Amino acid sequence: MSDHCCAHACEPKTARDPRYRRALWIALVVNAAMFGVEIVGGTQSGSTSLLADAVDFFGDAANYGVSLLVLSMAAMWRSRAAILKGACMGVFGCFVLGKTVWSITAGTLPEPTTMGAVGFVALLANLSVAALLYAYRSGDANMRSVWLCTRNDAIGNAAVMLAAAGVFGTGSGWPDWLVAVLMGGLALNASVSVIRHARKEMETPSAPISNLHGEHGH
């Protein structure tokens, strides 16, 4: 994969690649389905981190839909869509942090078995999507936002499973709440990264797109 690829030169191999469009459709369907699964699981288990992950799945499904909509549009429109998606990540992060504060105040203890089982299914789903999108992680800001959504989801799913183990072992809700805070922080960090990348593209549309994968390793 080229580290220095201009926006127009990359388009035939990335943004307009039929395989990329197909991967986005698969990602959209998977995320929409997992939203339903995690809403049920989060409600039944009382897990803040699981409900936060469910909302994230919903937001990602919407983001994939936006990506499909602007896929064939000019680079400027894709950058604008990336800013919108970055803003959505930021809103999600703020929501998760607020919900966590409310749960701590209420002192709700989640049920770890359901948390762990649903988290494992969600992790498998996101790893499958991540494998499809991995080759496109260093494209324009719009593609970068898609990759960050998927990467953060996989990290979040693994963290939910660790939280379930923590709740089971300690009998406390703190592992669940701490993971929810982590997920909110990841969303805010990704929001800043995507918006900065998109703004740079809009200010210098003919400049080479840097390989942000190297700048923001995971």
120-173 tens-digit pLDDT: 999 999 899 888 888 777 766 667 777 777 877 788 788 899 999 999 999 899
Give the up-direction half-sphere exposure of residue 200: CA atoms within 13 A in the CB hemisphere: 15
pLDDT at 106: 85
φ, ψ dihedrals at 208, nearest 5°: -60, 145
* Average pLDDT taken over every residue of the chain: 78
pLDDT digits (tens, 9 = 90+) for 82-99: 788 788 878 888 988 888
pLDDT value of residue 120? 93
Furthest C-alpha separation in the chain: 56
Nearest residue to 75 via CA among 196, 206, 211, 195: 206
Q: How many residues does the chain have?
A: 218
According to DSSP, residue 47 is labeled -
Q: Is 127 helix (H, G, I), strand (E, B) or coil?
A: helix
Query: Please, what is the angle between helix 18-45 and helix 48-70, to 10°?
Result: 160
Report the CATH architecture of 13-215.
Answer: Up-down Bundle (1.20)
Q: What is the reported pLDDT for 141?
A: 67
> Considering Cα of 104, then 110, then 116, then 120, what sign does the dihedral take?
negative
Query: Which residue bears the tokens 């805010």?
Result: 188
**Mean pLDDT computed over 10-37:** 78
Q: For the residues 187-203, what does the mean pLDDT come to?
A: 82
Q: Where are the domains of the chain?
A: 13-215
- pLDDT higher than 80, residue 22: yes
3-state helix, strand, coil in the chain (%, to 5): 80, 0, 20
Instruction: Determine the distance from the C-alpha atom of residue 199 to the mean position of all C-alpha atoms in its chain, rounded to a whole number.
Output: 20
| CA neighbor of 36 nearest in space, from 24, 19, 53 | 53
The position carrying tokens 């919900």 is 99
Please work out, in degrees rounded to the nearest 5, the angle formed at the alpha carbon of residue 16 by the alpha carbons of 12 and 17. 80
* Model pTM score: 0.67
**C-alpha–C-alpha distance, residues 120 and 127, integer Å:** 11
CB-based contact 70:141 (threshold 8 Å): no
Question: Per-residue pLDDT averaged across 98-125, rounded?
Answer: 89
| In contact, 89 and 187? CB cutoff 8 Å | yes
